[in-house]
Amino acid sequence: KAGVTQTPRYLIKTRGQQVTLSCSPISGHRSVSWYQQTPGQGLQFLFEYFSETQRNKGNFPGRFSGRQFSNSRSEMNVSTLELGDSALYLCASSLGLVWGRLETQYFGPGTRLLVL
Amino acid sequence: DQQVKQNSPSLSVQEGRISILNCDYTNSMFDYFLWYKKYPAEGPTFLISISSIKDKNEDGRFTVFLNKSAKHLSLHIVPSQPGDSAVYFCAASGEGQNFVFGPGTRLSVLP
């Protein structure tokens, strides 16, 4: 079974631009979560989508948005990029909720974004 | 406020010895815990999980212990191998919640 894939793997943008990152989950997984990892920080939760609906959202500004398509693929968009948005963006997929709890998440390789 | 803490940013262990990585949490609603390993330039890889109905779970060289009263879990790696050198994250979740990750501990296994 193929793992979680993310594209692109590396990206360089300038301040003020916008960027769209893509994530394809493991086949059969309907939940996709996005995380930001910066040096010295753990994984900061951005949002989680399940069946095309945003189910949970972390504490990030509205410049960060996402969506999920009917085939469970997900995109994350960051508008008006700031230098502080430079980070590794990770996507994780899971089957979804079982007995009200999110099943184990499996991560993609990440997209490394550099904002100049 | 950090709900999941890994108070040791780094740990060095000799090859063949035991590695013990610790994790503390503050939210008493957390009842499902995971450990991930992360190499540079790769996404985290799932290692082992434990739910609050158990206090121990083993998978090969990896064992996770959960002490609910202390809100503490630990990952034991025995014996440690150089390939285990990586950053280890613990994560916790509860009903209807997404996973909350700790800041990670960098493990170095010395040959």
More confident residue, A56 or B85: B85
Cα–Cα distance, A40 to B72 (Å, whole number): 22
pLDDT reported for residue B38: 94
Rounded to the nearest angstrom, the minimum Cα separation between A81 and chain B is: 22
SS3 of residue B44 by DSSP: coil
Residues of B in contact with A107 (CB under 8 A): 36, 43-46
Averaged confidence pLDDT in chain A? 92
Rounded to the nearest angstrom, the minimum Cα separation between A54 and chain B is: 12
Which residues of chain A fall below pLDDT 50?
none
pLDDT reported for residue B70: 96
Percent of chain B that is helix, strand, coil (3-state, to 5): 5, 55, 45
Cα–Cα distance, B69 to B100 (Å, whole number): 19
Q: Going by C-beta distance under 8 Å and a sequence separation of 6 or more, which residues neighbour residue B7? A: B22, B24
- How do residues B7-64 score in pLDDT, each as one tens digit? 999 999 999 999 999 999 999 999 999 999 999 888 999 999 999 999 999 999 999 9
